[in-house]
Amino acid sequence: MAADYTMRRVLPNGLTAIARQQSGAPIGSFWVWYRVGGRNEVAGITGISHWVEHMQFKGTADIAAGEIFRTITANGGALNGFTWLDYTAYYETLPIDRLQVALDIESDRMVNSRFSADEVASERTVIISERQGNENNPGFLLSEEVAGVAFRAHPYGNGVIGHLSDLREITRDDLYRHYRRYYAPNNAVVVFSGALDPADALERIERQFGAIPRGEDIPAVRTAEPPQYGERRVRVEHPAPNPVIQMVHRAPEAAHPDTPALLVAEAVLSGGKPFSFGGGAAMGRSSRLYRALVTTGLASSAGASMSLTIDPYLFGVSATLRPDSDAGRVEEVIVAELTRLRTDPVPTEEMGRVRKQIRAQFVYSQQSASSKAYLLGALAVVAPDRTPEELLEDMLAVTPDDLRRVANTWLVERQRTTGWLIPTNGENSSGPVTVGTQPAGYVPDNSDLGLDTSMPVAQETRLNNGVRILTLAAQPEDQPVVVRIRIPGGSAGDGGRPGIARFAGEMLTRGSGGRTIEDLSDELDGLGASLTVGAGREALDIVLTCLPEDTERVFELAATTLLSPDFPAQQIEVVRGQVLAGLRQARSDTRSEADHLLRAALFPAGHPWRCLLAGTEESVTAISRDDLLGWFQASLGASGSLFAVAGGIGHERAVQLADRHFGQWTGIAPRLEPLAIVAG
């Protein structure tokens, strides 16, 4: 049976059930989506959908508070829930022979969640703390103000977290009434993706959920946002490290025929985006906003966003400025790029590059059971007549003329809301375990399940230079290829120059072998491929993601990046500016500050785990090109490094490519010695 075989069924009680088979590991991902979120809230109960989501983990008549987490983890799974404007979703991803655990939990809490007064009171503190924590993030305050100004009538303007006054006043009865109204099979979509025949999965779902009574008809959201007749502007003054601009335009709903073209316009402005939850790859350095704002040094980051929603929402552009940037100039550049979309056809070469990114991102989003289930469920809620494959087909069919048409329809000044964040002075800122006992919630193996739980077998080869190549059994040849190169070292080898590993790692993609960052970005984006470098505490990781037909070229690009970096002086200053902006931004984040204080308390001065990975403002300012070259020569050795390869490539081919392009790599990767933690 084909790996993308999908079945859909609507049960007599109104529940929509979707199942898709996923080849590979014996894993299943089960999701329940309720059509309720910020869109369904009115003044006085804003944030209630998110609060109900929290209460769904507080137990039922048969499940004690906290037991859901313990049960899923005891069975080797992962779970979570989240609330957005249009939906609230819950998922469990488990070994396939534990699927029944997820079915039991979700069918139970669809109707039997308790909402005890004590748990409601306890969770009120959590929800209010979450709201107040968000308020410590200046970017959140700007986004909230911009949405509130862009929407004068529609509840999308209220967001998801809720207003503090409402969170203080919402009662237990309010929560339970909201739960009983919206948590019903006729307001839900369940999705399974994994190593199980879809017909079998649907039978299991119907047995579990079919007897749950249909709920009352869901009240319609009657309010439609009235037309906008001119630009609106908002200014937020708050302690922050850098100015931020958000420019949004009214945009159509997910089911609208113009939506695919606006998604392509988003990719033109800031690169192809992941389609799904946990899938995708980093792209976009060849995009228009990156080139116009980040490459030029006007901003440390910039991008566009287009969300898929039930009702008309927003197309956004945002940028975080460098401290010394001219705010007026940044806004002019953004407006100029939007104007260019309206007036000039996107050139053929650029259009081809964008289409390749979109196709690649879609393929990448289909690789895990969880990401595949996410996309199926999200579209089933916001655009039920559009499948993921149809959305991709519509996007690939978009022409330059389509882009100009939708830009002139939607991305115009009269439908714009522009918000500025202006920094003010003062930056914000269990018991013993008994071996051999079964954990709580464990479900014994059932020999009658008849499910294939065998795991793929790993294979390893060591090259002559000491590099280890590790692969799993090859997946179908049309599957994307992912390669993770891990070199021991990381910030543990920073010595007296905190942050140099991260700085040097970022520089590897900024020019190599005589090619510029623009050359590399153009080629990677044209291939729909991603090459990222990141320094951790104890290793430097290089991750390659590409379509199978481009594997040879991406290996070649990776070898040039790793073995022949140029460390161009101009890019050193660009990276330095971005790292310093990030460090200043971290001072505005309470979680980052808490982590910093905890590390200072746990680790003595000089310990590599004491500092942030990015270092300190003093150390980053002092790092020179010679320092970066010295770190590169001392830290990136072949022997001891590992290539982990997965996807549509066999072991023999992976070894061949690694030996061809990395076989002449020499040296020995640093050996990390355990460091003592000195008690304070």
Residue range 632-649, pLDDT digits in tens:
888 888 888 999 998 888
Average pLDDT over residues 204-225: 96
Maximum average pLDDT range among 127-141, 156-170, 442-456, 645-659: 156-170
Q: What pLDDT, on the 0 to 100 scale, is given for residue 257? A: 97
Average pLDDT over residues 477-502: 84
d(CA 534, CA 513): 20
> What does the mean pLDDT of the chain come to?
89
Q: Which helix (H) or strand (E) holds 406?
A: helix 400-410
Q: Class for domain 232-424, per CATH?
A: alpha beta
Q: What pLDDT, on the 0 to 100 scale, is given for residue 259? A: 98
Q: What is the rounded (10 degree) CA torsion for 496, 499, 501, 506?
A: -150
Structure-model confidence comparison of residues 590 and 367, the more confident one: 367
Average pLDDT over residues 456-461: 82
Structure-model confidence comparison of residues 646 and 253, the more confident one: 253
What is the architecture of the domain spanning 458-662? 2-Layer Sandwich (3.30)
Local confidence band at 449 (pLDDT 50, 70, 90 cut-offs)? very low
Q: Identify which of 644, 679, 458 has the alpha carbon closest to the alpha carbon of residue 543.
A: 644
Bridge partners, 421 (sequence order)? 236, 244
Domain 6-209 has CATH 3.30.360.10: no
3-class secondary structure, 430: coil
Instruction: Give the percent of the chain with pLDDT over 70.
Output: 92
Average pLDDT over residues 162-180: 97
Backbone angles phi, psi at 419, to 5 degrees: -120, 140
Structure-model confidence comparison of residues 365 and 380, the more confident one: 380
3-class secondary structure, 603: coil
pLDDT(3) > 80: no
Local confidence band at 224 (pLDDT 50, 70, 90 cut-offs)? very high
Local confidence band at 668 (pLDDT 50, 70, 90 cut-offs)? confident
The two counts, helices (H) then strands (E), for the chain are 23, 19
Going by C-beta distance under 8 Å and a sequence separation of 6 or more, which residues neighbour residue 598?
Answer: none
Backbone angles phi, psi at 273, to 5 degrees: -105, 155
Q: What pLDDT, on the 0 to 100 scale, is given for residue 498? A: 87
d(CA 250, CA 307): 11
d(CA 207, CA 17): 12
Q: Which tens digit of pLDDT belongs to each residue from 317-353? A: 999 998 889 999 999 999 999 999 999 999 999 999 9
d(CA 39, CA 585): 31
Query: Which string of b and e fits 541-555 if b means at least 16 CB within 10 Å?
Result: bbbbbbbbebbeebb
Q: What pLDDT, on the 0 to 100 scale, is given for residue 680? A: 47
Q: What pLDDT, on the 0 to 100 scale, is given for residue 441? A: 43
Q: What pLDDT, on the 0 to 100 scale, is given for residue 50? A: 97
Q: What pLDDT, on the 0 to 100 scale, is given for residue 100? A: 96
d(CA 49, CA 83): 7
Q: What pLDDT, on the 0 to 100 scale, is given for residue 207? A: 97
**Region of poorest pLDDT, from 395-409, 437-451, 453-467:** 437-451
d(CA 386, CA 374): 14
Backbone angles phi, psi at 457, to 5 degrees: -95, 135
pLDDT(429) > 80: no
Written as one letter, the residue type at 238 is H
Q: What pLDDT, on the 0 to 100 scale, is given for residue 313? A: 97
Local confidence band at 127 (pLDDT 50, 70, 90 cut-offs)? very high
Q: According to the 3-state scheme, what is the secondary structure of 154-194? A: CHHHHCCCCCHHHHHHCCHHHHHHHHHHHCCHHHEEEEEEE
- Domain map (residue ranges) of the chain: 6-209, 232-424, 458-662
d(CA 607, CA 675): 8
Average pLDDT over residues 274-303: 87
Q: Which tens digit of pLDDT belongs to each residue from 51-61? A: 999 999 999 98
Q: Do domains 232-424 and 458-662 have the same CATH topology?
A: yes
Neighbours of 133 (CB within 10 A): 14
3-class secondary structure, 172: helix
pLDDT(440) > 50: no
Going by C-beta distance under 8 Å and a sequence separation of 6 or more, which residues neighbour residue 439?
Answer: 70, 73, 74
Structure-model confidence comparison of residues 629 and 425, the more confident one: 629
Local confidence band at 123 (pLDDT 50, 70, 90 cut-offs)? very high
Structure token pair of residue 174: 């309010």
Backbone angles phi, psi at 103, to 5 degrees: -60, -40
Average pLDDT over residues 18-46: 93
Q: What pLDDT, on the 0 to 100 scale, is given for residue 454? A: 56
Structure-model confidence comparison of residues 234 and 23, the more confident one: 234
Local confidence band at 447 (pLDDT 50, 70, 90 cut-offs)? very low
3-class secondary structure, 95: strand
H runs (alpha helix) in 587-667: 590-602, 617-622, 625-635, 651-662
Local confidence band at 173 (pLDDT 50, 70, 90 cut-offs)? very high
Local confidence band at 667 (pLDDT 50, 70, 90 cut-offs)? confident
pTM of the predicted model as reported, rounded to 2 decimal places: 0.86
Bridge partners, 468 (sequence order)? 462, 642
- Tracing tokens 């929509």 back to the chain, one arrives at 16
pLDDT(624) > 90: yes
Structure token pair of residue 545: 């993601």
d(CA 163, CA 146): 15
Local confidence band at 106 (pLDDT 50, 70, 90 cut-offs)? very high
**Region of poorest pLDDT, from 109-123, 171-185, 254-268, 414-428:** 414-428
CA angle 477, 481, 486 (to 5 degrees): 145
Written as one letter, the residue type at 581 is A
pLDDT(442) > 50: no
Q: What pLDDT, on the 0 to 100 scale, is given for residue 587? A: 74
Structure token pair of residue 568: 């161009």
Structure token pair of residue 129: 């703390």
Structure token pair of residue 60: 């039922």
d(CA 471, CA 17): 35
Cβ atoms 280, 364 nearer than 8 A: yes
